[in-house]
Amino acid sequence: MPNKKGKILLLDNNELELDTLAENLVRKNFEVETALNGQGVLNKVKQFSPDIIILDWNLDPTDGITICRIIRANPDYNRIFIVFLTAHDNDFSKIEGYDSGADEYILKGIKFLVLVAKIEALFRRKIEVKINNTRIKFHDLIIKPHKKRVRKDGKKIKLTKIEYNLFILFLSDRAKIFSREEIYNIIWGEDIIVGDRTLDVHIRNLRKKIGKNIVVTHKGQEYSLAEE
């Protein structure tokens, strides 16, 4: 069974729309919990610990804007991305949504594959947020994620965007062994077709720049960082 991509909490007072979206996201290999209203949402957030919350504006008894502000007021939930998926299509609503702390404001009716692409983009952002945004030392490398800069023995290394994202992905969980499927989904997105040869080339180039023994191959199909 493929590894789950991440955890999403859905809140919407339209049961049919809620169930349909949940089923489609589960098929895309996300772990999903749902709620028809905002009642007890903080308990659900605490128990489920979602990576992303997708909510409608119109919720009972507490509206989505209030829920967003409540979650943002709790420092324990700063790591959670909040996305409005709503029919409120006017500039004032969008501004209020972002002002309340939302990371994305998406109008209902969006094509599902586009919605998934936006969600996966948030998960890619989450990888960088997960890493301490200061100076990181790994072997003879110094990484400054906030500047997207990598140095080896004091010299700046020029990594391509894909090479840098691969390195950050491996750094996000140094003990984890990443499968090719996970790497494709996180770096390129599930709906983009990438050949094995493409990944092999990027891994080989990354090794040339940061050190051939830094990235370890497991069974020819999985990758991780070498132990420090």
Six-digit token string for 210: 């940061």
State in Å, rounded, how far the first CA of the chain is from the last one: 30
pLDDT digits (tens, 9 = 90+) for 49-96: 899 999 998 888 888 999 999 888 887 887 889 999 999 988 889 999
> What are the tens digits of pLDDT across the range 20-44?
999 999 998 899 999 887 777 888 8
Residue pair 152/140 in contact by the 8 Å Cβ criterion? yes
What's the topology of domain 134-225?
Answer: Arc Repressor Mutant, subunit A (1.10.10)
pTM for the structure as a whole: 0.61
Identify the weakest region by mean pLDDT among 10-24, 120-134, 189-203. 120-134
| pLDDT at residue 126 tops 70 | no
- pLDDT at residue 23, as a whole number: 94
Max CA pair span of the chain = 58
Mean pLDDT estimate for the chain? 84
Strands 81-86 and 52-55: parallel
Specify the DSSP element, H or E, that contains 36: none
Flag whether pLDDT at 148 surpasses 80: no
* β-pair partners for 223: 178, 217
Q: What is the amino acid identity at position 222?
A: E
* Residue 1: predicted pLDDT: 44
Is residue 14's pLDDT more than 60?
yes
Q: Which two tokens stand for residue 4?
A: 């789950």
More confident residue, 15 or 147: 15
Max avg pLDDT among 14-28, 134-148, 166-180: 14-28
Which of 2-11, 63-72, 170-179, 195-204 reaches the highest mean pLDDT?
63-72
Among 7, 109, 3, which Cα is nearest to 56's? Answer: 109
Q: Where in the chain is the domain with CATH 1.10.10.10?
A: 134-225
Residues carrying CATH 3.40.50.2300, the chain: 7-129
Given a cut of 80, is residue 133 above it in pLDDT?
Answer: no
∠ Cα 79 176 178 (to 5°): 100
Classified by CATH at the fold level, domain 7-129 comes out as: Rossmann fold (3.40.50)
Region for 38 from its dihedrals, namely left if φ exceeds 0, alpha if ψ lies in -120 to 50, beta otherwise: alpha
Cβ of 227: how many Cβ atoms within 10 Å?
8
Q: Please compute Rg for the chain using Cα positions.
A: 19
pLDDT digits (tens, 9 = 90+) for 156-167: 988 888 888 888
Q: What is the average per-residue pLDDT within 119-144? A: 73
Q: 192 pLDDT band (50/70/90 cuts)? A: low
Tokens standing for residue 122 = 């948030």
